[in-house]
Chain A
Amino acid sequence: MIDRIHPADDNGSPLCMHLATEAETAALGAALGNALHAGLVIYLLGDLGAGKTTLVRGLLRGLGHRGSVKSPTYTLIEPYVVSRLNLYHFDFYRFNSPDEFLDAGLDEYFGGQGACMVEWPGKAAPHLPPPDLEVALSLAGTGRQVELKAGTEAGRRCLTELSNALRAPPAPA
């Protein structure tokens, strides 16, 4: 069970959680998937090994994706079509210059009807649209600390839905 440390509030405080295991990171991803809307831009922050791709894998699994979820480090983008939306998983780790984001035409994925999950967004700044939601993962003992912060109204709605879903008692089996 995911241990909620601090709920998000209307003053913009982040939703903070402790994730004890990889399975909990994936579970948070699945819950986030249910609160996802078309057009959302989500930044995934955290060092190598923090669990960014694991979170996206949980999210895609939760939305019914059966195939593999590979790290996009080498391909820069892995596109998915899941039940109700296009989901684009980016990783700009290998960028040298932010301009490569434009040179590669990746800006065309944003601003449309897809949901964009972005690893290493700093490497594409300032060309990247601002995030609706920021998910920051960091090491905490053998587990992970995660902070989710909304940057827009759409992000706040997503965060509220996620927060309610995490608070709701589990559905009877």
Chain B
Amino acid sequence: MKVLGIESSCDETGVALYDSARGLLGHRVHSQIDLHAAYGGVVPELASRDHIRRLPLLVRETLAEAGCALSEIDALAYTAGPGLAGALLVGAGAAEALALALDVPALPIHHLEGHLLSPLLAADAPDFPFVALLVSGGHTQLMRVTGVGEYELLGESLDDAAGEAFDKTAKLLGLGYPGGPQLAALAATGSAGRFRLPRPMLNSGDLDFSFSGLKTAVLNVVSAPGWQAADAADLAADFQQAVVEVLVRKALAALRSTGLQRLVVAGGVGANRELRAQLDRAAARRGWRVYYPEAELCTDNGAMIAFAGALRLAAGAGGSREGRIAIRPRWPLAELMRP
């Protein structure tokens, strides 16, 4: 079963071909980060227009890489939400149109389902059940995953997502876009411990997060008299340490409360080295294991969407053949149905 996956929920256009018998056959991502860098953020309308330009080419390149003709595709899978409406419409329109032309089913996929199943694409894949920590620019969530389409929300950010906190704090420190990775790079050159930043909701007794106050705490430091730009690396290190500490402690608490021993980390912030190092250390002490997607599948991509589509088809989902474009810009994962 060959599934062509299309991802266009935000600033990456991703296309991939996944074969349930042979694995990932082709995989292309075009990032709009360069385009957005000039503007200091993801720009919704630019994003939509760029998806339109890139998609046909990416589909051709992906099929060429896979050595596969359009007519060999058995199903389409596309990100139907959550995301920016205009950007979602581009991928949904392309996928539904292709499906109609090829007379194959199309499956709308939840973007976060793609992320949290993506570690299953790795050579060393975890078995169900596991706890998933999803950390990106738009989301920070802990979930109990017992099977495809079986997701229980354990906790989430009540305000800013962890990646958003990285991006905005980077902006406060005068770094460019995307600020998260640059902030992490700056943090690696500094040492934590000089600035006392809060650990929001560390002891809240639940598995929710809050990162907005941390950004404000950084603002207070850089606005105080005596602040020197030379201290930015140390402040970045303290900021990163605060975010990582909260993420690690809550992820461990989620494992304890569910009695599970496998943690899956997905989303762009999951590529953060300090987060990985501290999670691995903490888990190893307890005999637990942490799984990550392949590095190139941490950020948004089409492979995770094709893969989620293939898993849903294998589990009995039929998909639609009506060419009906169904996007849901706001789509709580808890409302997602089992296949």
Question: In the complex, which residues of chain B have a beta carbon less than 8 angstroms from the beta carbon of A76?
Answer: 44, 84
Residue A110 at the chain B interface, CB threshold 8 Å:
no
B159 touches A53 (CB 8 A): yes
Shortest CB–CB separation between residue A68 and chain B, in angstroms? 4
Which of B102-110, B216-224, B237-245 touches A? B216-224
CA distance A94 to B37 in the complex (A): 11
CA distance A96 to B223 in the complex (A): 26
CA distance A76 to B87 in the complex (A): 13
- Nearest B residue (CB) for A68: B158
CA distance A1 to B84 in the complex (A): 40
User: Given that A53-B212, A73-B164 are known contacts, is A93 also in contact with B41, CB under 8 Å in the complex?
Assistant: yes
CA distance A51 to B216 in the complex (A): 8
Q: Which residues of A contact B (CB under 8 A)?
A: 22, 47-51, 53-54, 57, 68-71, 73-76, 93-97, 99-100, 103-104, 139, 142
User: Given that A48-B219, A49-B216, A49-B218 are known contacts, is A69 also in contact with B45, CB under 8 Å in the complex?
Assistant: no
CA distance A100 to B46 in the complex (A): 9
CA distance A97 to B45 in the complex (A): 9
A69 touches B172 (CB 8 A): no
Residue B148 at the chain A interface, CB threshold 8 Å:
no
Shortest CB–CB separation between residue A146 and chain B, in angstroms? 15
A100 touches B171 (CB 8 A): no
Question: In the complex, which residues of chain B have a beta carbon less than 8 angstroms from the beta carbon of A103?
Answer: 44-45, 86
CA distance A50 to B215 in the complex (A): 10
Complex partner residue of B164 from A54, A71, A104, A142, CB under 8 angstroms: A71
Complex partner residue of B219 from A95, A99, A104, A139, CB under 8 angstroms: A139
B172 touches A100 (CB 8 A): no
B212 touches A54 (CB 8 A): yes
Shortest CB–CB separation between residue A58 and chain B, in angstroms? 12
Complex partner residue of B159 from A48, A68, A97, CB under 8 angstroms: A68
A49 touches B172 (CB 8 A): yes
Please name the 7 residue pairs, one residue from A and one from B, whose CB atoms are nearest each other, closest first: A49-B219, A94-B41, A96-B43, A49-B216, A68-B158, A96-B39, A74-B138
Return 5 A-B CB contacts under 8 Å, by A number: A48-B172, A53-B159, A71-B160, A75-B329, A99-B45
B44 touches A100 (CB 8 A): yes
CA distance A50 to B137 in the complex (A): 20
Residue B213 at the chain A interface, CB threshold 8 Å:
yes
Chain B CB within 10 A, most for which of A57, A68, A74, A99: A74
Shortest CB–CB separation between residue A162 and chain B, in angstroms? 24
Residue B188 at the chain A interface, CB threshold 8 Å:
no
Chain B CB within 10 A, most for which of A51, A94, A103: A94
Residue B7 at the chain A interface, CB threshold 8 Å:
no
Residue B265 at the chain A interface, CB threshold 8 Å:
no
User: Given that A97-B45, A100-B45 are known contacts, is A142 also in contact with B158, CB under 8 Å in the complex?
Assistant: no
Residue B156 at the chain A interface, CB threshold 8 Å:
yes
Chain A CB within 10 A, most for which of B43, B212, B329: B212
Complex partner residue of A74 from B45, B164, B219, B223, CB under 8 angstroms: B164
Shortest CB–CB separation between residue A113 and chain B, in angstroms? 21
Question: In the complex, which residues of chain B have a beta carbon less than 8 angstroms from the beta carbon of A50?
Answer: 219
Residue B196 at the chain A interface, CB threshold 8 Å:
no
Chain B CB within 10 A, most for which of A51, A57, A68, A142: A68
- Nearest B residue (CB) for A92: B44
- Nearest A residue (CB) for B10: A74
Residue B51 at the chain A interface, CB threshold 8 Å:
no
A71 touches B212 (CB 8 A): yes
Shortest CB–CB separation between residue A28 and chain B, in angstroms? 16
Question: In the complex, which residues of chain B have a beta carbon less than 8 angstroms from the beta carbon of A75?
Answer: 82, 84, 138, 329-330
Residue B168 at the chain A interface, CB threshold 8 Å:
yes
Residue B85 at the chain A interface, CB threshold 8 Å:
yes
- Nearest B residue (CB) for A22: B213
Question: In the complex, which residues of chain B have a beta carbon less than 8 angstroms from the beta carbon of A71?
Answer: 159-160, 164, 212
Question: In the complex, which residues of chain B have a beta carbon less than 8 angstroms from the beta carbon of A96?
Answer: 39, 43, 45-46
User: Given that A49-B219, A51-B216 are known contacts, is A57 also in contact with B159, CB under 8 Å in the complex?
Assistant: yes
Question: In the complex, which residues of chain A have a beta carbon less than 8 angstroms from the beta carbon of B161?
Answer: 74
Shortest CB–CB separation between residue B157 and chain A, in angstroms? 7
- Nearest B residue (CB) for A54: B212
User: Which residues of chain B from 33 to 51 have a CB within 8 Å of any chain A CB?
Assistant: 39, 41-46
Question: In the complex, which residues of chain B have a beta carbon less than 8 angstroms from the beta carbon of A54?
Answer: 212
Question: In the complex, which residues of chain A have a beta carbon less than 8 angstroms from the beta carbon of B159?
Answer: 53, 57, 68-71
User: Given that A57-B159, A69-B159, A71-B159 are known contacts, is A104 also in contact with B44, CB under 8 Å in the complex?
Assistant: yes
User: Given that A69-B158, A71-B159, A74-B138 are known contacts, is A142 also in contact with B220, CB under 8 Å in the complex?
Assistant: yes
Question: In the complex, which residues of chain A have a beta carbon less than 8 angstroms from the beta carbon of B171?
Answer: 48
Question: In the complex, which residues of chain A have a beta carbon less than 8 angstroms from the beta carbon of B213?
Answer: 22
